[in-house]
C-alpha cells in the first residue's frame, strides 16, 4: 500500500483498501474521497475504520 503525507500534515492511506466494522467484521471497498469514519456499518451501526 502506498502511503504519504495527507492534508494538514496527517497521513493519507491512499486510494485503495477497505473500510471495516470493528464490531462485526463487515467489509466495504474504500472509495477515494470518502473517509471510512464517515460511514456506518449497515449491519450494526458502528462507525467503520480504515484497513
pLDDT score recorded for residue 16: 79
Look at the chain and report how many structural domains it folds into: 1
3 in a structural domain: no
pLDDT score recorded for residue 28: 95
40 in a structural domain: yes
Residue 48 CB neighbours (<10 A): 23
10 in a structural domain: no
**pTM across the whole model:** 0.69
41 in a structural domain: yes
Cβ atoms of 34 and 6 closer than 8 Å:
no
Q: Tens digit of pLDDT for each residue in 1-51?
A: 455 555 555 555 666 799 999 999 999 999 989 999 999 999 999 999 999
Domain that holds residue 32: 15-50
7 in a structural domain: no
6 in a structural domain: no
Amino acid at each position: 500500500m502506498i502511503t504519504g503525507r495527507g492534508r494538514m500534515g496527517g497521513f493519507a492511506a491512499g486510494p485503495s483498501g477497505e473500510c471495516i466494522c470493528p464490531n462485526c467484521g463487515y467489509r466495504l471497498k474504500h472509495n477515494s474521497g470518502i473517509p471510512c469514519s464517515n460511514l456506518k456499518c449497515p449491519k450494526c451501526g458502528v462507525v467503520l475504520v480504515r484497513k
